[in-house]
Amino acid sequence: MTRTLLVTGATSGFGRACAELFAARGWRLVLTGRRGDRLAELQRQLAPAEVYTASFDVRRRDEVEAMYAALPEGFRDIDVLLNNAGLALGLAAAHETDLDQWETMVDTNIKGLLYMTRRFLPDMVRRRCGHIVNIGSVAGSWPYPGGNTYGATKAFVQQFSRNLRADVHGTGVRVTNIEPGLAESEFSLVRFDGDSDKAAKVYEGTEPLTPADIAEIVLWTVERPAHVNINCVEVMPTCQSWASLAVARKS
Where does residue 26 fall: left (phi above 0), alpha (psi -120 to 50 degrees), or beta otherwise? left
Set 52, 115, 144, 150: catalytic member:
150
Closest CA to 71 of 88, 51, 57: 51
Query: Rounded to the nearest 10 degrees, what angle do helices 13-24 and 211-222 cross at?
Result: 50
d(CA 39, CA 2): 22
Q: Considering Cα of 39, then 41, then 42, then 48, what sign does the dihedral take?
A: positive
> Residue 185 has what DSSP assignment?
S
CA-based nearest residue to 25, from 219, 221, 229: 219
Sign of CA dihedral 46, 19, 56, 50: positive
Residue 68 is a catalytic residue: no
Q: Which residues are catalytic?
A: 150
